[in-house]
């Protein structure tokens, strides 16, 4: 019997699966200080989401830990180098929440173009702002995607159904994948901003992508669609906080360079207040890209199966660090 810590919550069906496999599960959230002091020292495995930060210090203090399971995709909250050095396997569930993230991205794109969130706020305030809330269509516009992995490709399929033209920047993507998807791949990220009126962020957070979306790039956007309509400029990010410079977004909204910005992720989470919240053309959500009943169940069961396989001497479905 192994001891497994679940620190950020997980679907009950997944916890039951772990327990039925003969393992002891402790579901509790721990502070950064507790992690650094070795609260996980007597656990064989830990399953985290995005809230728990498995830093080098936390990993060093977790002396019995053999596996870190990330119930989700992003692994920027795990020090992979420290885990590898300690002989700890790190795995994740890259495909479990893809559909949910695609739908949320499309939802934000539609809400931006049609002023849905602002219209709702105006109605609640007693204002009938019909004349002020004329939107634009997605059809005939260029959608520029920063990163063209699973989620971006799914977003692209839906966007094409709306009549959008696809462009992407992804230096790690085989060109034939973009070609099969009917997407024009660009070697320079600046080109995406120069020709696209709608930008969707889908890359991982790294030193390379930190503040990749910044003031200088937002200022490259022309606000004129491929169909010649002066539709304005739109930004959506359901990827990771920190890729988008929030100060740059604020400045672009205030100057009118951005017609709308929608963020599901923020550089510091949970975020309680931001100058962005005062901008009428901003709308946000609290990191809910994977927050559907279907995705939560898939994520939990997939990571549970990976943990069980590892503890029984097998290999997890998706190992992300060298050992």
Helices (H), 69-174: 80-85, 98-113, 116-124, 150-162
* Rounded average pLDDT over 288-308: 95
Q: Which entry of 240, 246, 267, 298 is annotated as an active-site residue?
A: 240
**If residue 298 lies in a helix (H) or strand (E), which one and from where to where?**
helix 293-311
Nearest-5° Cα angle at 286, 150 to 137: 60
d(CA 307, CA 15): 11
Question: Across the chain, what does the average pLDDT equal?
Answer: 96
Q: Which of 57, 103, 137, 269 is catalytic?
A: 269
Nearest alpha carbon to residue 196 among 155, 231, 238? 231
Per-residue pLDDT tens digits for 38-97? 999 999 999 999 899 999 999 999 999 999 999 998 898 999 999 999 999 999 998 899
Give residue 227's pLDDT band: very low, low, confident or very high (50, 70, 90).
very high
- This prediction has a pTM of 0.87
* pLDDT (0 to 100) of residue 156: 98
Domains, the chain, in order of start with CATH, read 3-95+293-311 (3.40.50.720), 98-284 (3.40.50.720)
Active site residue 269: yes
Q: Which two tokens stand for residue 124?
A: 């609640």
User: How large is the average pLDDT for residues 270-285?
Assistant: 97
Catalytic residue among 70, 202, 287, 298: 287
- Distance, in Å, from the CA atom of 111 to the CA atom of 116, rounded to the nearest integer, reads 5
The question of whether 176 is a catalytic residue gets the answer no
Q: For residue 216, how many other CB atoms are within 10 A of its CB?
A: 10
CA 87 to chain centre: 28
For tokens 């934000």, name the residue: 108
Please say whether the beta carbons of 194 and 222 come within 8 A.
yes
């Amino acid at each position: 019997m192994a001891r497994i810590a679940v620190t950020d919550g997980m679907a009950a069906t997944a916890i039951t699966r772990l327990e039925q496999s003969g393992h002891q599960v402790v579901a509790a959230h721990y502070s950064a200080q507790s992690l650094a002091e070795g609260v996980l020292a007597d656990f064989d495995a830990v399953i985290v989401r995005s809230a728990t930060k498995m830093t080098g210090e936390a990993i060093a203090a977790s002396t019995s830990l053999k596996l870190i399971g990330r119930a989700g995709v992003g692994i920027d909250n795990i020090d992979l180098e420290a885990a590898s050095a300690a002989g700890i396997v790190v795995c994740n569930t890259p495909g479990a929440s893809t559909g949910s993230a695609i739908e949320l991205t499309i939802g934000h794109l539609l809400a931006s173009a049609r002023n849905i969130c602002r219209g709702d706020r105006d109605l609640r305030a007693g204002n009938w702002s019909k004349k002020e809330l004329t939107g634009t269509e997605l059809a005939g516009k260029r959608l520029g995607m920063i990163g063209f992995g699973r989620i971006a490709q799914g977003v692209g399929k839906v966007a094409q159904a709306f009549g959008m033209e696809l462009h992407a920047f992804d230096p790690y993507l085989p060109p034939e994948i973009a070609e099969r998807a009917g997407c024009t791949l660009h070697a320079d990220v600046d080109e995406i901003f120069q020709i696209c009126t709608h930008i969707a962020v889908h890359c991982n957070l790294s030193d390379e992508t930190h503040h990749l979306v910044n003031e200088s790039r937002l200022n490259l956007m022309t606000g004129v669609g491929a169909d010649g309509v002066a539709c304005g400029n739109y930004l959506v990010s359901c990827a990771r906080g920190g890729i988008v410079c929030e100060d740059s977004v604020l400045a672009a909204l205030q100057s009118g360079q951005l017609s709308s910005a929608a963020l599901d992720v923020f550089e510091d989470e949970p975020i309680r207040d931001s100058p962005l919240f005062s901008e009428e053309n901003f709308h946000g959500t609290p990191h809910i890209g994977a927050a559907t009943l279907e995705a939560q169940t898939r994520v939990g069961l997939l990571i549970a199966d990976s943990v069980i396989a590892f503890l029984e001497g097998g290999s997890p479905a998706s190992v992300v660090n060298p050992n």
